[in-house]
Amino acid sequence: MNDLPLSEMPQPLLVTRRRNWPVATLTLIGLCFVVFFLEKLAGGSERIHVLLEFGASYGPFTRRGQYWRLVMPMFIHIGWLHILLNMYALWILGPMLEQVYGTGRFSVIYVGSGITSAWLSMELSKAVAAGASGAIFGVAGAMLTTGYLHREVVPPRWARAFGKWMVFLILLNFGIGLALPHLIDNWGHVGGLLGGMILAGLIPPPPPHLAWEEPRPSQWVVIFPIAVVALAMAATARHYVRSQQALALLRQGERLRAQHHDSQAMQRFLAAQHLDPLDDRAYDALGSLDLAEHRLSEALNEYHHALRLNPGSPPAEVGLAAAYMEQGNASKALHWLQAAVGKDVNNAQAQSALGDLFDQERLYPQALQHYEKAVQLNPHLAEAQNNLAWLLATCPERQYRDPQQALVHAKLAVSLTQGRQADYLDTLAAAYYANGQYSQALKTQQKAVSLDPSNRELQRHLARYRQAARYPLHSARFFTEEDYN
């Protein structure tokens, strides 16, 4: 058989040489699922602190230098429904635009749209945001622009997808977003759509007669989106490790503080602050310790610094209210208390922070009131569930104990964290003990110790429960929080 020139080769033979695998689309979908499973392993894709540690969009954190938050949100998702819907949309739209533009240029458009989505969300929304939908809106915007500016490169069978059908789809999704403003990041969608349209206007697709050939002339540009995503993920990994180390120090400090070892607790808090100077939690912890020891000027400085790092932080606002109240400045105390809960009584985190504050001040009725309000507003707030359970199980004032309710809240806190937090298991063990279920207390505490073997406090509690399980008749009394400390 004689070889024919490419121009004279029959079209069916040309089709057999095409490679139609949407490499970039499949890679992006794979990355999203990998990140999602890592979120699950880290404690849950619906927990706010996990989202933030993985790089969710949040204006105050991005502005303080965490610019990788402009990239990471397009790979982070909140729950199974969120990721499945987004990945289905990407699987439908991505291959079409990738076939027209090629892997390299498509990747630039997708990642660029994700960045513009996160940027506009950060600038115009105060909420924590995540999800690939902004970048997917960018794909939709690029398809619409391409359909009008470069119709000659669009295969005839996709003409509607790059025209009227895409207009309808965009308007439909914006309508859904406007109907559900508290669940959908509309500003992120606008940012992604505009980014995709602008990039498609600036970046032309390959000529039609080259769009299906290998190798494609534009593939080298894929280096840029790969580099941007790789650098963002590396920065996120470094941040996550540092954040976990700082959190471990903060938890150690809280345990030492509960045992009245305040000087050692301060060392842990200062170490956490040195490890991550941009973490407002360390400043909150130092402010709380200063407040408890009546160092009011130091407490005010720490809380104000925390607010500069994270404006609107409920723990800092509540701490400022308490510090000004103790200072005798009622007007400023009222201002910060209103900032924390007065303007939004449905702020579960603020209610939980108030509960912590009143608990530290041994104002147990008020602490219980705010913890109960917090879990009523957000039953999935594990920290509030845990702290309420601990107080109900170990409160020094007997009239405020409720062992049965303590067990309910402690089980829920452990369930929400999938049994991965030793301190929550410790609370559950205390609740079992308060209910006279000594063997269950022992088994639960053994799990807690296995998660944090070096924790002496957990070891002491384990010894107590082991003795109670061995001699149940001699253990029929409640241990209070003072006993545990």
Positions marked catalytic: 133, 189
* Number of C-beta neighbours around residue 408 at 10 A: 16
Measure the CA–CA gap between 399 and 365, rounded to whole angstroms: 10
Are the C-beta atoms of 289 and 269 separated by less than 8 Å?
A: yes
What is the 8-class DSSP label of residue 131?
A: -
Measure the CA–CA gap between 164 and 338, rounded to whole angstroms: 50
Measure the CA–CA gap between 420 and 283, rounded to whole angstroms: 26
**3-class secondary structure, 59:** helix
Nearest partner of 30 among 127, 99, 132, judged by Cα: 132
For the chain, give the longest Cα–Cα distance: 99
Are the C-beta atoms of 118 and 71 separated by less than 8 Å?
A: yes
Residue by residue, DSSP assigns 320-373 as HHHHHHHHT-HHHHHHHHIIIIIS-TT-HHHHHHHHHHHHHTT-HHHHHHHHHH
Contacts of 276 (CB under 8 A, 6+ apart): 242, 243, 245, 246, 282
Are the C-beta atoms of 291 and 322 separated by less than 8 Å?
A: yes
Q: Tell which phi-psi region holds residue 477, choosing left (phi > 0), alpha (psi between -120 and 50) or beta.
A: beta
What is the 8-class DSSP label of residue 238?
A: H
Measure the CA–CA gap between 409 and 103, rounded to whole angstroms: 51
* Amino acid (one-letter) located at 208: P
